[in-house]
Amino acid sequence: MRRLATLALAALATAAPAHATFPGSSGRIAAAAKGDVFRAIITLPPMGSARGRNVRFLRDCQLSESGQPDSGDCSIRYRSPSWAPGGRRLAFDSGPAIALVSSDRSGYRQLNAVTSDDGEPAYAPTGSALAFTGRVGSRRDLYVRGTAGGTGIPIARRAASPDWSSRNRIAFVRRGTIYSVTPRGGRLRRIARGSAPSWSPSGRSIAVARRGGIYVARADGHGLRRVLRCSGCRTPVFSPNGRMLVYKKNGLVVARATDGKRLRTIIEDVRGGFDASEPAWQPRQ
């Protein structure tokens, strides 16, 4: 773990500055991280001092210098973290199955796999269910399942990047267009062109990544406006109070949601040595 902390400290920015965010106060930002000697789900303070001791590893695999497993759990993948309402639990893509872990690192468990490759989990506003994508032949479909286990219910075909709003709509991407659907399936509602949809805490608006920047629209897709002009910005996510966004751009950046003004870079990528992506913002009650 000492090597993990050392590498993370070297990658953190010292200058001032994926998933639906449920309402609450702004907690820590989770991310999928990888480096030369580790793979992990980490959490970071959104606006505080970016120091190595503030990086927490919820689950990790440490590798030797030769790239062989050294410690931690190297049998799984570390992708797509998603906070539950209240911020006490987190789901992530662990490979063929979805895994759950508490914010204090306890209670880790893998759910039974529904398809040959379950991934991209997104919590329901009740905290008792997940939306996720699963592989069916050569395509990925959208499913809903309970967090206690059991089977999954298919609700839409050819889907990616699901996100479940506090108003109980699930957004997803199909061939470059964002749609929403109820947890029971049925008629799709087109929202906008783009990728990486992320609902606001109220569920009344949604952030999307598009060519030229990050945009926000109402839940029905109307009123689309660019809040941040940016080339290569990805995976925008609202803060739990709805006032800020975190997004991926050579690291993880926090900006104002109203006008895109950059507030802080909380962690930077190091080419060939460290990468943090797929942020999720913890809501605290």
The pLDDT score that the predictor gives to residue 51 is 52
Amino acid at position 71, single letter: S
pLDDT digits (tens, 9 = 90+) for 215-249: 999 999 999 999 999 999 999 999 999 999 999 99
Reported as half-sphere exposure (CB side, CA atoms, 13 A), residue 136 has a value of 15
pLDDT over 50 at 18, yes or no: no
The pLDDT score that the predictor gives to residue 80 is 97
CA distances from 285 to 23, 167, 265 (A): 8, 18, 25
Taking the C-alpha atoms of residue 10 and residue 46, their distance in angstroms, rounded to an integer, is 18
| pLDDT category of residue 53 using cuts at 50, 70 and 90 | low
pLDDT digits (tens, 9 = 90+) for 70-99: 899 999 999 999 999 999 999 999 999 999
The pLDDT score that the predictor gives to residue 265 is 92
The pLDDT score that the predictor gives to residue 5 is 42
The pLDDT score that the predictor gives to residue 271 is 78
Which residue would you say has higher pLDDT here, 16 or 217? 217
| pLDDT category of residue 149 using cuts at 50, 70 and 90 | confident
